[in-house]
Amino acid sequence: MIPSAFEYHRPADVKSAVGILHEQGDEARVLAGGHSLIPMMKLRMAAVTHLVDLQDIAELKIIKVAGGKVTIGAMVTQHSLINDPGLAAAAPLLREAALQIADPQVRYCGTIGGNVANGDPANDMPGLMQCLDATLTLAGPDGTRDVKARDFYEAAYVTACEDDEILVSVSFDAPKGGYAYEKQKRKIGDYATAACAALIEMDGGKCRAASISMTNLSDTPIWSKAAGAALVGTACGAENIANAVAAALADIDPTEDNRGPVAFKMHVAGIVIKRAITRAIACA
Amino acid sequence: MSKMHLKLTVNGKAEELMVEPRELLIHVLREKLNITGPHIGCETSHCGACTVDMNGKSVKSCTVFAAQANGADVTTIEGLSPHGEMNVLQNAFREHHGLQCGFCTPGMITRAHRLLQENPTPTEEEVRFGMAGNLCRCTGYQNIVKSVLAAASELNAAKEAAE
């Protein structure tokens, strides 16, 4: 399988990359790890006339953990993310989830930015970014702007990122409390049938804060405000958890595909959400 | 679309050739450089038969454009036994029946090589996790895991003996 021909660009900085995108419009695409885009190009489902490879842009590869704030460059690979001790300490949720993405070869190439910006509802990082209430920084011809991850996703493959913008980095406050990422998949390398990220803070036996998000259960990642609200202020007993699961399920809209019919997905979602919340409480 | 000048190192040898940017690394290796150790299995980045080592990382060369490999240092299964003798991993796969038809084997061994570079003393679980990007339809994996663990022990014993 050979994709259609394209011009290859390998700019050395963000400004040049944005310049190429601005000049070429929607005929240009950026290439990060390539493990979503290249298969689509080989199947000729993505037509790209100008391919802008970001691999030489050093400023996109930074990992910064300081003063309780985490910033990760868009070109940081899942492999680097997993093996960064500072990041593992500051945001163990992210490491736990990254280890469940694809397989080792794909994690060497796949980047956090590609995963976040592609807009594929099956990708794991979008839901995680929403759970962490991350800010996404985009660079365009007029400079940079910030968009909250919870406002970024509009529909499958449709995001707030314009054709001439590049995701530069994601940043968030290092989370406190308990965490869990539960993912049900048919086999290694598959996308989630259902996945759920949970962050829960307990204080004196009561839940102080809770953030619950879900992956591949709607045409965008879903952060369920109601699920978190069902836990805050409670002792997080069985009934409170059941209420949170019910609230989360009310916020999703899965579709039937080769991973199963809607009823099955709702069933699996209920289980992974409950497991994620329960485990996050246990380590809070 | 114009061809580009591609420069890369393959198995320690500097190579220079003209390619279209859309050519995949696996095609350049197999068809232009006659390095046919890495195989084309699924061609959709699932099976791992095309695994090569690129800049110290295991990659599926069916999902890397030749252009991306410009300037890269690539090692294939051929580069793991440059003098034509079987290396420790290859011998372990033979000894422990880590292959049957052999189609996945170059990818398996190239991946196992990098895994043992990063983690010289893996547990069985770590071998299974670290080899999860390579599919085998013959062995049921049991003997592949056994082979990688045996190679790890042998490499560690040799290292200790040398110290």
Same domain, B21 and B42: yes
Output the domain CATH number for residue B69: 3.10.20.30
Which chain B residues touch A111 with a CB distance below 8 Å? none
Residue corresponding to tokens 């290396």:
B87
Looking at residue B1, its pLDDT comes to 61
A258-268 pLDDT, tens digit per residue, is: 999 999 999 99
The number of domains in chain B is 2
Same domain, B15 and B39: yes
- Asked if residue A189 has pLDDT above 70, the reply is yes
ipTM: 0.96
CB atoms inside a 10 Å sphere around CB A110: 25
- Asked if residue A272 has pLDDT above 70, the reply is yes
Q: Decide if B22 and A103 are in contact by the 8 Å CB cutoff.
A: no
Same domain, B146 and B99: yes
A217-234 pLDDT, tens digit per residue, is: 999 999 999 999 999 999
The number of domains in chain A is 3
**Residue A36 domain-assigned (yes or no):** yes
Show the tokens assigned to B48: 């791992």
Q: Are A136 and A115 a contacting pair, CB within 8 Å?
A: no
Looking at residue B82, its pLDDT comes to 83
Same domain, B147 and B129: yes
Q: Over range A8-34, report the average pLDDT.
A: 97
Domain boundary among B50, B80, B110: B80
B91-123 pLDDT, tens digit per residue, is: 999 999 999 999 999 999 999 999 999 999 999
Domain boundary among B17, B48, B80: B80
Query: Which residue range forms the structural domain that includes residue B75?
Result: 4-80
Same domain, A239 and A272: yes
Same domain, B62 and B100: no
Q: Which of B63, B115, B133 sits opposite A39 (nearest CB)?
A: B63
Q: For residues A40 and A23, what is the distance between their CA atoms, to the nearest angstrom?
A: 23
Query: In this structure, what DSSP letter does residue A276 have?
Result: H
Angle at B39 (CA atoms; ends A52, A99), nearest 5 degrees: 60
Q: Classify residue A68 as exposed, middle or buried by CB count within 10 Å of its CB (0-12, 13-18, 19+).
A: exposed
A22-40 pLDDT, tens digit per residue, is: 999 989 999 999 999 999 9
CB atoms inside a 10 Å sphere around CB A24: 18
Residues 16-55 of B with CB under 8 A from A: 20-24, 27, 43-46, 48, 51
- Sign, Cα dihedral of B132, B136, B140, B145: negative
Question: Between these two residues, A158 and B82, which has the higher pLDDT value?
Answer: A158
CB atoms inside a 10 Å sphere around CB B102: 13
Same domain, B133 and B156: yes
Q: Are A45 and A157 a contacting pair, CB within 8 Å?
A: no
Q: For residues A126 and A197, what is the distance between their CA atoms, to the nearest angstrom?
A: 11
Helices (H), A13-100: 14-24, 37-42, 78-83, 85-90, 92-98
